[in-house]
Amino acid sequence: MYVLSVVEGQNLATDNVTVIEGESATISCRVKNNDDSVIQLLNPNRQTIYFRDLRPLKDSRFQLVNFSENELRVSLSNVSLSDEGRYVCQLYSDPPQEAYADITVLVPPGSPIIESRDDVVSEGNETELTCTAIGSKPAASIRWMKGEEELTGEATVEETYDRMFTVTSRVRFSVTKDDDGVPVDCIIDHPAAKDLLAQRHLEVLYKPEVKIVVTYPEGLTREGDNLDLSCIAEGKPHPNQINWLRVDEDVPPHAVVTGSDLYIENLNKSYNGTYRCVASNSIGEAYDDYILYVYDAPTTSPTPTTNPVNTQDSRAGEGAPQKIDHAVIGGVVAVVMFAILCALIVLGRYFARHKGTYFTHEAKGADDAADADTAIINAEGGHNNTDEKKEYYI
């Protein structure tokens, strides 16, 4: 890895070099318009590494890569932290010139170490993890990931005597049962290292989760049926006790409890109520309820001659639309018409037996009078001598 910056004299140039410890670095001294002046390379202690194409320094890690009138290029293999410093390119011109190449050595950290304050933690409690990156240059940075969630840690940096750094990061968080088995990663970011991390899986203890499953019957529970309930309980640690009870009442005397199952035969309405399964472990307890309602036993009815009308249990679907029975309506209308007809017949017979009687002018003798005066006299009292005329009505 190289980070380049140019340092220029009048005719001499070189580059700064950044290299990872243990790798190779190359130093290049370049001359523009060289007039046969001599080029040499010095180390940070100003000892001559190469004079033209000759190597006075007895360090075989330095090797000549290229020598010409315009360049002196030297490689340094297996770079160590002690090789860091300022190297000097010299040109014996008039006046003499110098250019400087700074070698920076990067030291990657060792494998990170992750530790947990608690090997096992109960749900709802807080845990703390520590990650350490030892011996890096420059100091590393540490990131935390819990599954897909990034956590924020608190880091401390310690510089050692040999210009190295140790970084420690701590992270604290509360756990839930969903965190059980989730990996927590300590990720190291450093220019000299890639994909450097340490991982630890959380182990979380949690109270049971309880669910009641109806094994039998399927559908409504009716008188005379049997009931079979199964209690499923999961927790960490696994539930060590599972109990069945009936809320506010005793469990029927002939109910059979086998492990996590409850069996009641020949149901009747007196068994109605709430049945509860309670499971517990060292962390806590939990329960699930089943409400039993026993319906009437089904009755046998004759096969209908018309399309049957759908019916629904009152507890299973209240408010279902009711269908109109036209036969009933026709019967009611027939009864009403019959009652009206009977009333007419009775009234007719009543009027026939109570006939009305009245006298007309003819009955009063008006027809027998010679003139009007005589007719009036006859009408006032002389009708006894005349024939009585009658009219009848019904």
pLDDT, tens only, 67-81: 998 999 999 999 999
* Confidence band of 9 (pLDDT split at 50, 70, 90): very low
- In this structure, the answer to whether residues 73 and 23 fall within a common structural domain is yes
**Nearest CA among 192, 132, 141, 137 for reference residue 163:** 137
- The reported pLDDT for the residue numbered 370 is 55
Q: What residue has token string 């990170």?
A: 112
Q: Are strands 38-42 and 48-51 parallel, antiparallel or unpaired?
A: antiparallel
- In this structure, the answer to whether residues 185 and 241 fall within a common structural domain is no
pLDDT tens digit sequence for 180-208: 999 999 999 999 999 899 999 999 999 99
- In this structure, the answer to whether residues 236 and 277 fall within a common structural domain is yes
Residue percentage of the chain with pLDDT more than 70: 79
Domain boundary among 71, 106, 141: 106
- The reported pLDDT for the residue numbered 317 is 34
- Burial (CB < 10 A; 0-12, 13-18, 19+), residue 30, is buried
- In this structure, the answer to whether residues 252 and 216 fall within a common structural domain is yes
Domain boundary among 40, 72, 106: 106
**Nearest CA among 131, 133, 209 for reference residue 166:** 133
Give a yes or no: residue 378 inside a domain. Answer: no
Is pLDDT above 80 for 54? Answer: yes
- The reported pLDDT for the residue numbered 237 is 96
Give a yes or no: residue 57 inside a domain. Answer: yes
- In this structure, the answer to whether residues 134 and 151 fall within a common structural domain is yes
The distance from CA 198 to its chain's CA centroid, rounded to whole angstroms, is: 29
- In this structure, the answer to whether residues 198 and 214 fall within a common structural domain is no
Say if CB 19 and CB 104 are below 8 A apart: yes
Domain boundary among 263, 292, 321: 292
- The reported pLDDT for the residue numbered 91 is 92
Give a yes or no: residue 318 inside a domain. Answer: no
Residue percentage of the chain with pLDDT more than 90: 67
Burial 348-366 (b: 16+ CB within 10 A, else e): eeeeeeeeeeeeeeebbbb
pLDDT tens digit sequence for 107-156: 999 999 999 999 999 999 999 999 999 999 999 999 999 999 999 999 99
Is pLDDT above 70 for 52? Answer: yes
- The reported pLDDT for the residue numbered 10 is 52
* Confidence band of 377 (pLDDT split at 50, 70, 90): low
- The reported pLDDT for the residue numbered 312 is 32
Segment 56-72 mean pLDDT: 94
| Average pLDDT along the chain | 84
- The reported pLDDT for the residue numbered 11 is 80
- In this structure, the answer to whether residues 163 and 146 fall within a common structural domain is yes
- In this structure, the answer to whether residues 168 and 227 fall within a common structural domain is no
Give a yes or no: residue 238 inside a domain. Answer: yes
pLDDT tens digit sequence for 155-180: 999 998 788 999 999 999 999 999 99
Say if CB 47 and CB 33 are below 8 A apart: no
- In this structure, the answer to whether residues 222 and 186 fall within a common structural domain is no
Q: Domain range spanning residue 155?
A: 110-202
Segment 358-385 mean pLDDT: 49
Give a yes or no: residue 308 inside a domain. Answer: no
Please give the tally of structural domains in the chain.
Answer: 3
Residues 6+ away with beta carbon under 8 Å from 209: 233, 234, 235, 286
Which CATH number covers residue 51?
A: 2.60.40.10
Give a yes or no: residue 383 inside a domain. Answer: no
- In this structure, the answer to whether residues 91 and 20 fall within a common structural domain is yes
Backbone phi, then psi, for 270, in 5-degree steps?
Answer: -70, -15
Give a yes or no: residue 349 inside a domain. Answer: no
- The reported pLDDT for the residue numbered 161 is 77
Segment 356-362 mean pLDDT: 45
Give a yes or no: residue 96 inside a domain. Answer: yes
The DSSP element (H or E) to which 190 belongs, if any, is strand 183-190
How far apart are alpha carbons 131 and 150 in whole angstroms? 15
The order of strands in the sheet holding 71-76 is: 6-8, 12-15, 25-31, 71-76, 62-67
- In this structure, the answer to whether residues 49 and 30 fall within a common structural domain is yes
